[in-house]
Amino acid sequence: MERKKQVRQRKPISLVELKWVVFGLAAWAIFGLQLYYFYFRSLPFMDTLVSQIIRIIIIFSMIEVFFRILTRKEHQLKQSEERYRNLVENAASGIVMLDLNGLILEANEAFASILGYNRKELLGRSFNSFVSKEDLPKVKKGLKALQERTFLKNQELKLRTSQNKEIVVERDLSLLTDTEGKPYAFTSIIRDITLRKELKKQLEEDFIATVETLADLEELRDPCSAGHSERVRKLAEAVARKMNLDDNQVKDIRMAAALHDIGKIKISESILSKPTSLTSQEMQLIKEHPSAIAEALNHIPRSAQVSRIIKYHHERYDGRINADFPGYPGELRGEEIPVGSRIIKVVDVFDTMTSIRPYRPARSRRETIEELKNGAGTRYDEKIVRVLLEILDAPERRDNSPK
C-alpha cells in the first residue's frame, strides 16, 4: 500500500489537470477583482460590466488557446512515445535493456519468446544467467571492449532457454550514457540464429562429405592409402583445436586435410603403386600434386586459404630443399608456412608411416613417434609435433592407434 502511495505521489500532474487549476485560479482572481471594483468603487455599473465581461472572455480565450497548444504538444509527445513503444514491442528481434550489473531492466516480447519466458519473468534477472558457461569470458571481453567503442556488433553467444535447450544468438550491444557521458545502462538487439547455424553446419558437413567421397574415389586407385584423407582430417582437426586456433582456421584446415592429396588424381596408378623406389622424373610428378589441387581450388570462391594450406603441406619447417627428405615446392620456411600446412605435414607423416605402402610394410607407432621427435624443429614444427604426441598419448587414442 505504502509503495503504491509513493508511486502515485511521484506521478507528474498532467497538462489537462493543470489547465483546469489555472483556469479556476484565473476565474477566481478576475471575478474577485470585479466584485471589489463594483462594491467598493461605485463606478457606472452596466458599462463597466459589459466591458469587463468582454475582457474576461478575451482573457479566457487566450488561456484556452495557450492550453490547447500545450495539450497538443503533450499529445504529440505521447504519440511519439507510443510509436517507440510499438516499435520495440513489435520488433522481430529481441530487445533488452540491462543495468551496469547486467540485470534486465526492460525486455520486449520477442526477447522473452527467444528464451521461452514470459516478459515479466525476465525483469530483474541477470542476463548472464542465460549465457552458457563457455561463453561467459566472451561476454566479459565484449563489455570491456564496449567501454572503449560504446558499440559492439554481431557477437555470437550460446544461451539456455526455459526448456534448458541451447540456442545460438547474435547480438549488437550499445552503451547508454547520460548527458555528462557517464554510462548507466546497456541495450542489446538479439537475433536467434540457431537455425541458420545448423543449416550452415549441415552445408559444410555435406561439402566435406562430398570432398571425402572424391578423396575416397581417388584412394581406390591406391588401396594402400584407403581412409588416409579421413584419418588425416580428423587428426589435423584435433591438433588445430588443441592449439586453440579459431573456428574459421579449423574449418579451413579440415577442408584442406580432406583434399590434401586429391591432386594425385593426375598421377598414374603405376607410379602410385610402384613397389620400388621412384625415379627422379616420377618423383617430380609426385611433387606437383599439391600445386595441382591448389590451382583447381582457385575456381572456388573463398577457398584461397584452403588452397594455400594444401600448396605448402609438404614444405620442410627449416625450408631445406637439398636434404634426404626435401620439402616442396620449397618457397616458404618456418612461420611463413601456413599453420594448417605445418599441421597437415606432421599428421600426414604419422598416418603415412603407420600405413602399409607398396614399397614397404607399415612402421610401428614407436618408430613413427621417434621419427617425428628426430625431425622436430627441422623437418617438422616442434610445437605441432608436441601437440600431436600429447593427443596420441591420450588413453582413448592409445588403444586405437597403430602399435
CA dihedral 105, 122, 164, 139 (to 10 degrees): 0
Q: At what angle do helices 304-311 and 247-259 cross, to 10 degrees?
A: 60
Least separation in angstroms between residue 367's CB and Fe ion is 21
Instruction: Choose one: 25-33, 242-250, 261-269, 386-394; the region binding Fe ion (CB under 5 A).
Output: 261-269
**Half-sphere exposure of residue 19: CA atoms within 13 angstroms, side-chain side:** 17
Cell reading at 162? 526455459
Residue 261 CB, shortest distance to Fe ion, in Å, is 5
Instruction: In angstroms, give the least distance from the CB of 279 to Fe ion.
Output: 19
Decide whether 237 or 261 has the Cβ nearer to Fe ion.
Answer: 261
Instruction: Please check whether residue 315 is in contact with residue 337, taking contact to mean a CB–CB distance below 8 angstroms.
Output: yes
Contact of 267 with 357, CB cutoff 8 Å:
no
Q: What are phi and psi of 190, to 5 degrees?
A: -125, 130
Q: Does 351 help bind Fe ion (rule: CB under 5 A)?
A: no
DSSP letter (8 states) at residue 266: G
Shortest Cβ 381–Fe ion spacing (Å): 16
Indicate the residue among 131 and 272 with the shorter CB distance to Fe ion. 272
Least gap, CB of 287 to Fe ion (angstroms): 9
Q: Which region among 52-60, 99-107, 227-235, 254-262 touches Fe ion (by CB under 5 A)? A: 254-262
Quote the least distance from Cβ 307 to Fe ion, whole Å. 14
Site string for Fe ion, 202-241 (x = CB under 5 A): ----------------------------------------
Question: Is the separation of the CB atoms in 387 and 242 below 8 Å?
Answer: yes
- For Fe ion, the closer of residues 261 and 381 by Cβ is 261
Residue 221: phi and psi, rounded to 5, are: -75, -20
315 binds Fe ion (CB under 5 A): no
d(C-alpha 101, C-alpha 184), whole Å: 10
261 near Fe ion (CB under 5 A) = yes
Helices (H), 90-127: 109-115, 119-122
Measured from each CB, the residue nearest to Fe ion is 261
| CA separation for the pair 397, 67 (Å, rounded) | 83
Number of amino acids touching Fe ion (CB under 5 A): 1
The minimum distance between CB 144 and Fe ion, in angstroms, equals: 43
Instruction: Determine phi and psi for 139, rounding to 5 degrees.
Output: -65, -45
Q: Which stretch binds Fe ion (CB under 5 A): 29-37, 56-64, 189-197, 256-264?
A: 256-264
The residue (of 232 and 240) whose beta carbon lies closer to Fe ion is: 232
Residues forming contacts to Fe ion in the complex (CB under 5 A) are: 261
